[in-house]
Amino acid sequence: MQDRYLGEQRRYDDDDDRVWNCGAWFEYILVVVVSSILLIAASVLTIFWTIYYRKGFNMDDPKLQFNLHPVLMIGGYITLSGFSILLYRICRCCSHLIVKLCHTFFHACSIPCIVIGFMAVWDSHNQQQIPNFYSLHSWLGMITMGLFALQFVLGFFSFLILLCCENATYKFRSTMVPIHASFGVATFMLAIATAVTGLTQKAHFELGENYSQTVEEGIIMNSIGVILTGLGIIIPFAVRRSNSPANCKVYVTERI
Amino acid sequence: MQDRYLGEQRRYDDDDDRVWNCGAWFEYILVVVVSSILLIAASVLTIFWTIYYRKGFNMDDPKLQFNLHPVLMIGGYITLSGFSILLYRICRCCSHLIVKLCHTFFHACSIPCIVIGFMAVWDSHNQQQIPNFYSLHSWLGMITMGLFALQFVLGFFSFLILLCCENATYKFRSTMVPIHASFGVATFMLAIATAVTGLTQKAHFELGENYSQTVEEGIIMNSIGVILTGLGIIIPFAVRRSNSPANCKVYVTERI
């Protein structure tokens, strides 16, 4: 048991001692910078779109109350989740426990975004007597929220609470790592699939025939969709690439 | 060089000798069976939807000509690509070269599906004087097709043509593996994001107000979207899990 524990320790600490070549550094910086720019761009562009084209927020007007939904879901949940996943790539010199705590904190911050974002559209629909849960967007949204909740509870239990008896729970935690990592990335991709169906739906509802005339607002909405899809490519790529040198086959998500 | 070559050989062939425990077998069968069922279900349900609800195919009627688009893109491209990726998980006892050739063959078969599927919608839109390339669906579709073409050419060159001088190209091929695998999964996810935006768009165009009344066709279309999203979860999970025992950290996609 002691040997295995030492083995685990060695795997954690070795990375910092390894020498990176120019290519690995270039890729690291490129991935981190591009991901961060895309995450911030998605957030900023969604806020800009809702304020400039959709007349901002007002809780007394159900149409303007709806605008909280895309801002909190994209600018809140997706951006925070993206940074939370990306932390495993960014923090290559920090203690692993600190990275885990920050990962949990970022995800915890996205919980109020999801709850208020969901309540905003639910209440707005009910006030306007628009039915709920009929569209593919809403179905995907429900699955995403369910998976997120499951991932949060299981992740919190497995990787923070069970850390109290570190050695005894090593095997269970090591089994959970690839499952949590795979489903975490899957939840993020699901959130993006939900967002792009939501944007498509909103474009058809609000722009109607004008959408096919390539109006300015349509281009902004499509750009948000393309940025989100770009995030769906680069974030899983970022966490699946190792923090260790290019020729060493240790994956970030294998850390326990 | 000889050592490295032998090392590579050993890595290829070792897997078959390793003993799997019950859990690994159960997971292997579950993942392969569920993925295959979902891939076939997406295909069958799309064909059923277009024939039963959208009146099938007729090249002389632009509305019915359009129906080739979802069938060839979902039932053709996505299903073939899914099986092509899944081959790396299914074929744990075959020669690696045979898996690579089958992977190429499946992807090659999806090329005519993409080309005819694209031509069907292009021609149908032009005949009905509907503009092209204005929606998020079309933007995502263009990016997906571009990435697919790039992946196919680079993959064919790197992993089949360069295999002629196996030893000399080992380092280049080993560098290309995680890039090709990551972008391959990303292209598949992009295709799914494109498909769900397409289904949302089609539901709003064809069903209009009825969509919110939870009509039968709407449920079928949403189900196709949910199945596709399920594939977006299980296929990356399947190829990221190893074919070797649970405690061994060798990823399928690391094979060269």
- pLDDT tens string B88-120: 888 777 888 888 899 999 999 999 999 999 999
Contact B136 A250 (CB under 8 A): no
- Interacting residues of A3 by C-beta distance below 8 A, sequence separation 6+: none
> What is the per-residue pLDDT for B242?
53
- Residues of B with CB below 8 A from A203's CB? 135-136
Of A52-56, A88-92, B75-79, B182-186, the least confident: A88-92
Q: A215 to chain B: nearest residue by CA? A: B134
Q: What is the ipTM of this complex?
A: 0.84
Instruction: Tell me how crowded residue A172 is: count the other CB atoms within 10 A of its CB.
Output: 11
> What is the per-residue pLDDT for A7?
43
Q: What does the alpha-carbon distance between residue A217 and residue A225 come to, in Å, rounded to a whole number? A: 12
Q: Does A236 touch chain B (CB under 8 A)?
A: yes
Residue B180 pLDDT greater than 60, yes or no: yes
Instruction: Tell me how crowded residue A178 is: count the other CB atoms within 10 A of its CB.
Output: 19
Q: Judge whether A114 and A72 are in contact, CB under 8 Å.
A: yes
Q: Does B203 touch chain A (CB under 8 A)?
A: yes
User: Between A11 and A219, where is the model more confident?
Assistant: A219
> What is the per-residue pLDDT for B255?
40
Q: How does DSSP classify residue B67?
A: T
Pick from A136, A199, A212: CB nearest B134: A212
Q: Does A177 touch chain B (CB under 8 A)?
A: no
Contact A196 B201 (CB under 8 A): no
Q: Does B226 touch chain A (CB under 8 A)?
A: yes
Q: Judge whether A106 and A40 are in contact, CB under 8 Å.
A: no
Angle at A26 between CA A23 and CA A31, to 5 degrees: 125
Mutate to test the interface with B, among A134, A138, A242 (most CBs of B within 10 A): A134
Q: What does the alpha-carbon distance between residue B52 and residue B48 come to, in Å, rounded to a whole number? A: 6
Contact B229 A197 (CB under 8 A): no
Q: Does A207 touch chain B (CB under 8 A)?
A: no
Contact A232 B193 (CB under 8 A): yes
Residue A34 CB burial class (10 angstroms; 0-12, 13-18, ≥19): middle
Mutate to test the interface with B, among A4, A130, A135 (most CBs of B within 10 A): A135
> What is the per-residue pLDDT for B188?
92
Query: Could you tell me the pLDDT band of residue B14, with boundaries at 50, 70 and 90?
Result: very low
Q: Judge whether A237 and B186 are in contact, CB under 8 Å.
A: yes
Q: Where are the beta strands (DSSP E) in A65-214?
A: none
Query: Could you tell me the pLDDT band of residue B23, with boundaries at 50, 70 and 90?
Result: confident
- Percent of residues, chain B, with pLDDT higher than 90: 57
Contact A203 B136 (CB under 8 A): yes
> CA A195 → CA A200, A205, B91, B248, distances in Å?
9, 15, 35, 36
Pick from A139, A218, A241: CB nearest B178: A241
Chain A nearest-CA distance from B106, in A, is 23
User: Between B87 and B236, where is the model more confident?
Assistant: B87
Find, among A254, A253, A201, A242, the residue nearest to A225 by Cα: A201
pLDDT, tens only, B185-214: 889 989 999 999 999 999 999 998 899 998
Q: What does the alpha-carbon distance between residue A191 and residue B113 come to, in Å, rounded to a whole number? A: 28
The structure tokens listed for A147 are 């998976």
> What is the per-residue pLDDT for B13?
41
> What is the per-residue pLDDT for A71?
97
- Percent of residues, chain B, with pLDDT higher than 70: 86
Q: How does DSSP classify residue B56?
A: -
- Residues of A with CB below 8 A from B183's CB? 233, 237
Radius of gyration in angstroms for the set of CA atoms belonging to chain A, rounded to a whole number = 20
Residue with tokens 């990306």: A86
The residue type of A75 is G
Contact A190 B140 (CB under 8 A): no
Residue A177 CB burial class (10 angstroms; 0-12, 13-18, ≥19): middle
Q: What does the alpha-carbon distance between residue B167 and residue B254 come to, in Å, rounded to a whole number? A: 17
> What is the per-residue pLDDT for A244?
42
Of A116-120, A168-172, A192-196, B53-57, the least confident: A168-172
A–B: how many Cβ contacts below 8 A? 146
> CA A59 → CA A6, A47, A67, B14, distances in Å?
56, 16, 10, 63
Computed over every residue of chain B, the mean pLDDT equals 85
The structure tokens listed for B112 are 């005519």
Find, among A190, A187, A195, the residue nearest to A221 by Cα: A195
Q: What does the alpha-carbon distance between residue A219 and residue A231 come to, in Å, rounded to a whole number? A: 18
Residue A163 pLDDT greater than 80, yes or no: no
CATH 3.40.50.10490 correct for A23-240: no
Q: What does the alpha-carbon distance between residue B229 and residue A62 come to, in Å, rounded to a whole number? A: 30
For chain B, first and last CA: distance in Å? 16
Please state whether the predicted TM-score (pTM) of the whole model is above 0.90.
no
Contact A222 B139 (CB under 8 A): yes
* φ, ψ dihedrals at B40, nearest 5°: -70, -40
Q: How does DSSP classify residue A131?
A: -
> What is the per-residue pLDDT for B16?
44
> What is the per-residue pLDDT for A127?
95
Contact A237 B143 (CB under 8 A): no
Q: What does the alpha-carbon distance between residue B217 and residue A217 come to, in Å, rounded to a whole number? A: 30
Chain B nearest-CA distance from A204, in A, is 7
Find, among B52, B47, B217, B77, the residue nearest to A136 by Cα: B217
Q: What does the alpha-carbon distance between residue B45 and residue B223 come to, in Å, rounded to a whole number? A: 9
**What's the whole-number mean pLDDT along residues A2-14?**
43
Query: Could you tell me the pLDDT band of residue A112, with boundaries at 50, 70 and 90?
Result: very high
Q: A184 to chain B: nearest residue by CA? A: B233
Quick one: residue A248, left, alpha or beta (phi over 0 = left, psi -120 to 50 = alpha)? beta
Q: A125 to chain B: nearest residue by CA? A: B212
